[in-house]
């Protein structure tokens, strides 16, 4: 009897799981929960609004207007012949998704402490669901971008053209999501005990935004600015997106490779820390 019992324990609770011991099978078994959380986020957003999901579109429109005014009308930053509205909208659409996922996932442990304190499920389910539910919003904003894009493409003689890089769109979206997710879970793990980093994030995210090519094309950056842009793992993502759909700039293969490597480094480090922290964070949060 004892012998038989030894092997078939389905749950073993120990103080220290190995660092690399991530139970992917268990996470997979909670896929329904991920989908339901995505649905919840979406429904909760538009309930009791008249315009519903349209609200997702208002924010990028207003931000684009401000950026065009600031960077292109006042500061006269060149957009390499592309209509400034399209240029800025492309950058903003990509960045908004990234920053939303980053901000929301970085708060995972603190914001959900009350749920985590009562029931067990793999904690990674929550940041995963945030990454996916933000994709719905991204979809709407992308849709808006393509509407504006179609207007310029078909009804004006603006200098835009599609290149082969447009086919990389799914890869780009995945990269944006995973990069934000990786960074987000690193921050959420580190802030479960010491909150300091949380306050850094608010202005850190603005710093991140202006050290990449959201508003200024890479070709217009020289010297120090250019190397800062180059080190930013998000630069290649925006540049590739613009190159694909606007034909501006070019495809920087080394920057792109760098971005992919950075994304997976963040993600792996994030998963490892998260996996370690999730077991006892309830004691310190």
Partner 1 sequence: MSEIAISVDKVSKMYRLGEVGTGTLSHDLNRWWHKVKGKEDPYLLLGEENKRDSKDTNSNYVWALKDISFDVEDGQVLGIIGKNGAGKSTLLKLLSRVTAPTTGTIKAKGRIASLLEVGTGFHPELTGKENIFLNGAILGMTRPEIKRKLDEIVDFSGVARYVDTPVKRYSSGMYVRLAFAVAAFLEPEILIVDEVLAVGDAEFQKKCIGRMKDVSEGEGRTVLFVSHNLATIRSLCSHTILMENGRLSYEGDTAVAIEKYMSGNDVGDRKREVSWSGDARPSAPELAVSRIRIVNEKGDDTALLATENEVNVEIEYEVRETIKNLRVMVVLFNVEGIEVFSTSDFYFQNSSRVRTPGKYKSTCHIPSYLLNGGKYVAEIHFEIPSVKNVVSDLSLPFEISELSLNQLGVTMGKYPGGIVHPKLEWSVEQV
Q: What is the C-alpha to C-alpha distance for residues 92 and 228, in angstroms, rounded to an integer?
A: 19
Tokens 């009562």, residue? Answer: 118
| 101 within 8 A of 177, measured Cβ to Cβ | yes
Q: Give whichever of 17 and 226 is closer to partner 1, judged by the CB atom.
A: 17
Number of residues engaging partner 1 in binding (CB under 8 A): 37
Q: What is the C-alpha to C-alpha distance for residues 173 and 94, in angstroms, rounded to an integer?
A: 8
Q: Is 117 in the site for partner 1 (CB under 8 A)?
A: yes
Q: How far apart are the first and last CA of the chain?
A: 42
Stretches 29-37, 166-174, 182-190, 209-217: which one binds partner 1 (CB under 8 A)?
29-37
Restricting to residues 205-264, which ones interact with partner 1 according to CB under 8 A? none
Q: Is 74 in the site for partner 1 (CB under 8 A)?
A: no
Here the tokens at position 143 are 């849709």
Least distance CB 194 / partner 1 (angstroms)? 7
Which of the 8 DSSP states describes residue 214?
A: T
Of 39, 69, 81, 167, which one interacts with partner 1 (CB under 8 A)?
A: 39
Collect all residues with Cβ–Cβ distance below 8 Å to 62 and sequence separation of at least 6. none
Compose the 186-205 pattern: x for residues touching partner 1 by CB under 8 A, - for all others: -------xx-----------
Stretches 39-47, 83-91, 133-141, 213-221: which one binds partner 1 (CB under 8 A)?
39-47
**Which of 68, 73, 89, 229 lies closest to 149 in space, CA to CA?**
89
What residue ranges bind partner 1 (CB under 8 A)?
1, 5, 8-15, 29-30, 32-33, 36-37, 39-40, 43-44, 47-48, 114-121, 193-194, 279-280, 282-284
């Amino acid at each position: 009897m004892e012998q038989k019992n030894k092997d078939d324990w389905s749950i073993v609770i120990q103080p220290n799981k190995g660092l690399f011991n991530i139970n992917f099978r268990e996470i997979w078994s909670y896929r329904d929960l991920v989908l339901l959380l995505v649905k919840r986020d979406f429904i909760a957003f538009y309930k009791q609004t008249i315009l519903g999901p349209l609200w997702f579109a208002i924010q990028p429109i207003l931000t684009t207007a401000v950026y065009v005014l600031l960077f292109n009308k006042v500061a006269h930053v060149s957009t390499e012949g592309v209509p400034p509205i399209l240029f800025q909208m492309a950058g903003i659409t990509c960045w908004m998704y990234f920053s939303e996922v980053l901000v929301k996932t970085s708060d995972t442990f603190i914001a959900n402490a009350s749920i985590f304190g009562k029931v067990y499920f793999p904690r990674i389910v929550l940041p995963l669901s945030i990454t996916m539910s933000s994709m719905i919003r991204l979809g709407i904003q992308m849709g808006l971008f393509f509407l504006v894009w179609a207007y310029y493409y078909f009804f004006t003689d603006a200098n835009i053209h599609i290149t082969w890089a447009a086919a990389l769109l799914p890869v780009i979206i995945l990269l944006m999501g995973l990069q934000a997710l990786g960074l987000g879970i690193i921050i959420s793990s580190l802030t479960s005990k010491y909150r300091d980093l949380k306050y850094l994030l608010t202005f850190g995210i603005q710093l991140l935004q202006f050290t990449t090519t959201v508003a200024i094309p890479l070709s217009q950056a020289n010297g120090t600015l250019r190397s800062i842009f180059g080190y930013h793992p998000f630069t290649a993502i925006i540049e590739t997106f613009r190159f694909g759909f606007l034909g501006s700039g070019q495809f920087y293969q080394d920057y792109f490779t760098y971005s992919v490597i950075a994304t997976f480094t963040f993600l792996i480090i994030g998963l490892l820390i998260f996996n370690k922290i999730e077991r006892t964070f309830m004691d310190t949060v």
